[in-house]
Amino acid sequence: MGAGSRQEENLSRRAFIRRCAQRLISAIGAGLLAYPILSFVTFRKSRKKTVVFPAKDQSDAVSFKEGVFLIRRKGDTYAFTNKCTHLGCRFNFDPLSRTFRCPCHGSVFDLRGKRLKGPAKRDLEKLPLAEKRNGDIQVAVTL
């Protein structure tokens, strides 16, 4: 084996090691970039909270607190978030017509959450709630 041949072998070994190092660095870099993006796209953290309507603050018909409507009507109690089932806009309560009206595309729901009109296809979903001995009502909300 001559000196030229050994030099070629060293060069090709160096080139091979350099190429491997570059690929390794590229793979690590791609992983570092991809991880937060994939985490953001694939992971959706659901949060839960409890909204408490103290007995003294509950009106006869409709109360509102922290994005939750509490309806007490004819001995029945139920609650909804104010998030429209169409595209998620926040709707309001209209005391004159006694309906919930979404300002975005005009969906309307009655006091029981039934869809009356508009592009929304689904009724409002009732939230789980618990009435405490002292009259407070706790509503469980998933955000």
Shortest reach from residue 101's CB to ligand FES, in Å = 9
Smaller CB separation from ligand FES, 31 or 106: 106
106: CB partners within 8 A, 6+ apart: 117, 118, 119
If one asks whether residue 124 binds ligand FES (CB under 6 A), the answer comes out as no
The stretch among 2-10, 44-52, 59-67, 82-90 that binds ligand FES (CB under 6 A) is 82-90
If one asks whether residue 116 binds ligand FES (CB under 6 A), the answer comes out as no
Closest residue by Cα to residue 138 from 58, 51, 75, 62 = 51
Closest residue by Cα to residue 99 from 128, 124, 66, 65 = 124
If one asks whether residue 120 binds ligand FES (CB under 6 A), the answer comes out as yes
Alpha carbon 19 to chain centroid, angstroms: 44
Contact positions toward ligand FES, by CB under 6 A?
Answer: 84, 86-87, 89, 102, 104-107, 118-120
